Structure 1
Amino acid sequence: MPPNVVRSSSRPPERIIIEAVSPALDDGRHAVKRIVGEELVVEADIFKDGHDRLAAQARWCGPGGGWQTAPLRYDYDSDRWFARILLDRTGTWEFTVEAWTDRFTTWRVELEKKFAAGQAIHSELLEGAAMVDAAARAASDGDRSLLMRIAGELRDPERGPAERAVAAQNAELRALMARHHAPDDRTEYPQVFRVRVDRTRARFGSWYEFFPRSCGEPGVHGRFVDAERALYRIAAMGFDVVYLPPIHPIGLTSRKGKNNSLTAEPGDVGSPWAIGGEGGGHTAVASELGTLAEWDRFARTARSLGVEIALDYALQCSPDHPWLKEHPEWFFVRPDGTIKYAENPPKKYQDIYPLDFWCDDREALWQACKDIVLFWVAHGVTIFRVDNPHTKALAFWEWLIEEVQQQHPDVLFLAEAFTRPKRMRWLAKAGFTQSYTYFTWRTTAEELKDYFTELTQGPMKEYYRGNFFINTPDILPEHLQKGGRAAFRIRLLLAATLGPTYGIYSGYEVGENTPLRAGSEEYLDSEKYELRHRDYSVKDSLAAEITQLNRVRREHPALQRYDNLSFHPCDNPNILFYLKRAPGPVGDVMVAINCDWSKEQGGWVEVPLEVLGIAADELYMVEDLVTGARYEWRGSRNYVRLDPAGQPGHLFRLVRNYIDVEVT
């Protein structure tokens, strides 16, 4: 061995190089995500030394099926190979890539070149005949006889070179050789990659969060039958999903009072997240809400209205939860024998105990947690909004989600993880279908552009599906506190058009925005600790706007996708201008929104004419999908003026081939 040369590992030398396989997430450690009905585009760089022709294919396996193949085509200049696979069912798919030297095609191309150049091809014809003979030996009877006949023609000295060369180019021969000629250097990429394919609701939906216990008459604890009536109002606004906080018995020990006070007064209802009491734990319903049979009726009504139920999955226990007596080993026990309650300094949660997911009896604990999910799936729940998953064992979520989706591939999981970016991203990689985002705190046009570019154009687009909740029971952002109705309308437009899935917490439509105190994101008289009766018929309700916006979202596929977003310039930094593309007759949607809730803003937006197929001097028309107003535009630069008190944004569709229409 020459000096300074390090011997390679025991892995055999590679005759064909396969690299940069995509889509791949952490080199196959986690699955990328797709939606049923989409095509998976498999790509790889494949090459070798010399001038031999290569062949390659993607090997793939769908849920419950055997392995199949799809040929890879290539770009000659880049050595980049491609295949498309239709993802026609939900579940976990697998794929890899393999390649080999296509010796028959290499021979055939070289033969054709030599013959065209007038060179002798006798030896080449004999080489080809030998390859065809080898393929014949591997073929079935019908193909074998045909291959043997063609091999004879290739070596037949009675035939002239031209006739034999023509036989070599026979299309039927090429097909037979592709089927039966065994490669001698087949190379398979050593990694198998996974793809998690979900149903459409994983990508697109409008969410509405509400507390069933607040659906009763003023001062009266609501029941499931009251919440059932609320479903009709929510469905009429066009929401696809209702998200409910925990509906289980609430503990009495250390129950929180109004506004999170440490002492509960008589009649205080406590926090729904303090789960467990005399009535049971995570598989029981609070008696104040009704019975399990009444819950089942609520679930049936939701289903009949086309509304899915997302139930809060909060893995913690009140001091009164049955598990405290049955399985004290599942909790964090202090040296003095007491059990540690939850804390996130300076916040303290004296009414709940966290679970020890790495306790000695963790297998039983994990199974019990899985059984909770399966119980509620059997009672009509199709989505689980998971409370603070980043505070539980990360490995647990990877295990749980895979276990549940093996039995119920259509069940979805939303991670409520307002935490550091790497942990948020890992939870999405580990299997969470959707994730909360930092949208709530991104307010300027530049912040929104940067954040959504990161989500939809970079590596995160392969696995991170944001659910853009505008507010939550925990989060009343400063801009809603100070911006009033204008801020509510602007944030609604942004959330509903930038991303395909968004959500609001009940009370948003009537403009609730009073904080607990200055500088706090907590609501005054938070519904987390008390009943909250609302009059949804108030004059300034946003219900009509929400209804119209949800209708537009359902009618326009461009607003139902995550990866079709592109931002375009506006000379006013307060105006965000973007395009969402979609094929078909409904087509693209352009959006211009004033991100400044305090005053009117105007500016020149730059329409991407080339992308839209519009000539530089062409006259065209855009129609506002909300107001119906039409505007005649020409060229790339066009002016918009947006008033947060009147019309804070435009949702434009391009009107093609118009004649004699009224123009605003």
Structure 2
Amino acid sequence: MVYERDFDRCRGEFSVDRIGTWEFTVEAWTDRFGSWRSDLERRGGGETHVDLLEGALLIEEASRRAKGEDRAGLKDAARVLREEAVPVADRTRRALSAELEKLVQRYLPPADLTRAPAVMKLWVDRPEAGFGAWYEMFPRSQSTVPGKHGTFEDAARRLAELKELGFDVIYLPPIHPIGRTHRKGKNHSLVAGPDDPGSPWAIGNEHGGHTAVEPQLGTLEDFERFVRRARELGMEVALDYALQCSPDHPWVKEHPEWFSIRPDGSIKYAENPPKKYQDIYPLNFWCQDYPALWRACKEILEFWIARGVKIFRVDNPHTKPFAFWEWLIGEMRREHPEVIFLSEAFTRPARMKALAKLGFHQSYTYFTWRNTAPELREYLTELTRTDMVEYFRPNFFTNTPDILHAYLQQGGRPAFRVRLVLAATLSPVYGIYSGFELCENTPFAPGSEEYLNSEKYEIKVRDWNAPGNIKEDIAIVNRIRREHRALQRLDNLTFCHSENDQILCYHKHAPGDDLLIAVNLDPHRVQETMVHVPLEALELSEEEPFEVEDLLTGERYGWRGRRNYVRLDPERQVAHIFLVHRASDPAGEGGGRVP
């Protein structure tokens, strides 16, 4: 516990060593001996025999609780303070000794102990909830033969490469049997051809529902082998948890009461105007028999947890009752505290925050739509400098199967490199959807954020080594993230002033690890600026020279003072990730690397 005199408050911390719920409270009492000792010091030689007797009484009280050598030492100190034959100055020196203070504090009981009325609770997650690089891929698109449906075995063959690229989590969209009724065709067509695979989010057919796998992907045993292979490589598999059904899902026949029945007797399908999803039936979470429905939803999680899945990306949680999530996450915390939930909720801020407070470990964000320096500064300040940092963990996805932002459509390869660096260095958790590494950026139509020939409705076989890919960039950035603690926290971001708003600059700090990051937000033109270095935070003077090492290229630059020059050409290098080296650093190293 540290006393902050300027604020007249105490500040404390404690370490945790396991996941789960921790409880803590605050106790306080008057430091009787410390108060007496402080008063004695202030007298500056004006202390009297009576003043020392007051201290002797406190020491004697402490001695009655001590044993052995400690008790003898305390009794001797009290005797000395009472001894009038000993000069007051000598007795005062004994009274003010640090060793005596430690002994008294150890045994002197508090006389006015008080405790905060509330017992606070703290939920502790495993480290993977707060740091990781995600890669989203459709296993059905992992074949190397155009038009051929991929399998779990095909997907497993890509895992080694994804590990080399530095990813920690492999996220799969729904892997379940896909409905046939009102199946969507290419580009969300209402009419599907005989070979169209349909949307994976239209879950369920005659082969089963949420606890079955699409037969063309393989068997449950094949999936379990895929999970084991990922684990062998040091990665985890995340599954989509989409609580909705196709018209062919077994639940439609077995439990029609779990759905919303319209006045004409038909089941209500999903809509997000102007879009209509006739191939998907939402569940009615407040149906008459909702406890049975909720238990069935929990059983889905338990089924996949038993097969090695510990991370779930939850589809549209904001469209389900918050009471349901509060119950379900509470059950998971009690029975499976290692499970992580990512909230895919692009909705109003209050609802996104509420889901985080209910227990979602991570959340999708508005990062996709924050592209200018003012937008990024404002949004990241909210995420990292307000109370949101205490409960809301952003997962910065650069793109999704649903979202191809105009910045990527119009900015070409440099734009993809820009968004990679921003996502990976502004948030400790980030992700990309496959095709990002190939800079896929053709929209369905002008002004649309949908992909042309969207993978949601067809199989896409890609050449993963196609010219123009940014795989090397991804591998380098992910390596830097793993090696530098400053990039593994959310609450350590400070923006630096840049004299040109086309170059965003920020500082990430961890003990012994200071990174200055500059990113050219203009994917079309060379930009240059004078960056204002936060000398105070770096403990540098205006006159002190220092060196910055670009971790992306290995180049080093000598800098001095607050204003320093940066020039970034998007066709060559869109960003600098500088490690600061001070002259005082051991052997000239910036430190901070993770062993």
TM over 0.5: yes
How many Å separate the matches in 1 of 2:515 and 2:581?
A: 11
- The aligned residue for residue 298 of structure 1 is 226
How many Å separate the matches in 1 of 2:172 and 2:409?
A: 24
Matched, 1:426 2:358: no
The structure-2 alpha-carbon separation of the partners of 1:74 and 1:615, relative to structure 1 and needing over 3 Å to count, comes to closer
- The aligned residue for residue 327 of structure 1 is 255
How many Å separate the matches in 1 of 2:337 and 2:344?
A: 21
- The aligned residue for residue 96 of structure 1 is 25
Contact 2:270–2:281 under 8 Å retained in 1: yes
State the Cα deviation string for residues 352-384 of structure 1 (Å, max 9, x = none). Answer: 221222233332222222222122122121211
Contact 1:104–1:128 under 8 Å retained in 2: no
Secondary structure (helix, strand or coil) at the match of 1:243 reads strand
Matched, 1:205 2:118: no
- The aligned residue for residue 548 of structure 1 is 476
- The aligned residue for residue 349 of structure 1 is 277
The structure-2 alpha-carbon separation of the partners of 1:592 and 1:105, relative to structure 1 and needing over 3 Å to count, comes to closer
State the Cα deviation string for residues 163-216 of structure 1 (Å, max 9, x = none). Answer: 987886687775565455544432211222222222222222111111001112
The residue type equivalent to 1:460 in the other structure is: M
How many Å separate the matches in 1 of 2:562 and 2:58?
A: 64
How many Å separate the matches in 2 of 1:147 and 1:337?
A: 88
How many Å separate the matches in 2 of 1:499 and 1:167?
A: 54
Matched, 1:222 2:150: yes
Q: Which residue among 2, 15, 25 is the counterpart of 1:86?
A: 15
Q: Which residue among 315, 318, 338 is the counterpart of 1:387?
A: 315
Per-residue deviation at 1:336? 3.4
The residue correspondences of 1:166-245 to structure 2 (distance < 5 A) are 178=105, 181-216=108-143, 217-245=145-173
The residue type equivalent to 2:141 in the other structure is: S
How many Å separate the matches in 1 of 2:175 and 2:545?
A: 57
Per-residue deviation at 1:256? 1.6
Q: Name whichever of 571-580 and 173-182 sits farther off.
A: 173-182
State the Cα deviation string for residues 23-79 of structure 1 (Å, max 9, x = none). Answer: xxxxxxxxxxxxxxxxxxxxxxxxxxxxxxxxxxxxxxxxxxxxxxxxx33123422
- The aligned residue for residue 651 of structure 1 is 577
Q: Which residue among 186, 189, 195 is the counterpart of 1:267?
A: 195
Q: Which residue among 288, 296, 306 is the counterpart of 1:360?
A: 288
Secondary structure (helix, strand or coil) at the match of 2:577 reads strand
The structure-2 alpha-carbon separation of the partners of 1:583 and 1:109, relative to structure 1 and needing over 3 Å to count, comes to closer
The residue correspondences of 1:447-596 to structure 2 (distance < 5 A) are 447-584=375-512, 587-596=513-522
Q: Name whichever of 318-327 and 507-516 sits farther off.
A: 318-327
The residue type equivalent to 1:190 in the other structure is: P
- The aligned residue for residue 6 of structure 1 is none
State the Cα deviation string for residues 456-504 of structure 1 (Å, max 9, x = none). Answer: 1222111211111111000011111111112112111211222222111
Q: Which residue among 526, 536, 550 is the counterpart of 1:610?
A: 536
Secondary structure (helix, strand or coil) at the match of 1:194 reads strand
How many Å separate the matches in 2 of 1:529 and 1:167?
A: 83
Contact 2:56–2:82 under 8 Å retained in 1: no
Secondary structure (helix, strand or coil) at the match of 2:431 reads strand
Per-residue deviation at 1:391? 0.7
- The aligned residue for residue 13 of structure 1 is none
Identity of aligned residues (%): 58
Gaps of 5+ in 2: 589-595
Secondary structure (helix, strand or coil) at the match of 1:232 reads helix
Contact 1:271–1:529 under 8 Å retained in 2: yes
The structure-2 alpha-carbon separation of the partners of 1:157 and 1:119, relative to structure 1 and needing over 3 Å to count, comes to closer
Per-residue deviation at 1:395? 2.2
The residue type equivalent to 1:276 in the other structure is: G
Number of matched residues? Answer: 584
The residue type equivalent to 2:327 in the other structure is: W
How many Å separate the matches in 1 of 2:103 and 2:533?
A: 53
How many Å separate the matches in 1 of 2:94 and 2:581?
A: 56
How many Å separate the matches in 1 of 2:34 and 2:543?
A: 50
Per-residue deviation at 1:644? 1.4
Q: Name whichever of 486-495 and 469-478 sits farther off.
A: 486-495
Contact 1:436–1:469 under 8 Å retained in 2: yes
Structure with greater proportional helix content = 2
Contact 2:183–2:199 under 8 Å retained in 1: yes
How many Å separate the matches in 2 of 1:148 and 1:523?
A: 79
Secondary structure (helix, strand or coil) at the match of 2:355 reads helix
Q: Which residue among 523, 526, 538 is the counterpart of 1:600?
A: 526
The structure-2 alpha-carbon separation of the partners of 1:641 and 1:118, relative to structure 1 and needing over 3 Å to count, comes to closer
Per-residue deviation at 1:385? 0.7
The structure-2 alpha-carbon separation of the partners of 1:158 and 1:580, relative to structure 1 and needing over 3 Å to count, comes to closer
Contact 2:385–2:491 under 8 Å retained in 1: yes
- The aligned residue for residue 625 of structure 1 is 551
Contact 1:129–1:155 under 8 Å retained in 2: no
State the Cα deviation string for residues 620-653 of structure 1 (Å, max 9, x = none). Answer: 3322212222223232222222111221211222
Secondary structure (helix, strand or coil) at the match of 2:187 reads helix
The residue type equivalent to 2:540 in the other structure is: I
State the Cα deviation string for residues 415-474 of structure 1 (Å, max 9, x = none). Answer: 111111111111112211111111101111121111111111222111211111111000
Secondary structure (helix, strand or coil) at the match of 2:14 reads strand
The structure-2 alpha-carbon separation of the partners of 1:325 and 1:621, relative to structure 1 and needing over 3 Å to count, comes to same
How many Å separate the matches in 2 of 1:113 and 1:472?
A: 66
Per-residue deviation at 1:335? 3.2
Per-residue deviation at 1:144? 11
- The aligned residue for residue 3 of structure 1 is none
Contact 1:489–1:648 under 8 Å retained in 2: yes
Contact 1:153–1:159 under 8 Å retained in 2: no
The structure-2 alpha-carbon separation of the partners of 1:325 and 1:628, relative to structure 1 and needing over 3 Å to count, comes to same
The residue type equivalent to 2:523 in the other structure is: W
The structure-2 alpha-carbon separation of the partners of 1:362 and 1:160, relative to structure 1 and needing over 3 Å to count, comes to farther
Gaps of 5+ in 1: 1-71
Contact 2:507–2:516 under 8 Å retained in 1: yes
| TM-score under structure 1 length normalisation | 0.81
The residue type equivalent to 2:370 in the other structure is: R
How many Å separate the matches in 2 of 1:76 and 1:613?
A: 23
Per-residue deviation at 1:278? 1.5
Contact 1:125–1:164 under 8 Å retained in 2: no
Secondary structure (helix, strand or coil) at the match of 2:286 reads coil
The structure-2 alpha-carbon separation of the partners of 1:187 and 1:515, relative to structure 1 and needing over 3 Å to count, comes to same
The residue type equivalent to 1:592 in the other structure is: A
State the Cα deviation string for residues 536-578 of structure 1 (Å, max 9, x = none). Answer: 1211111122122222222222222212211111211111111
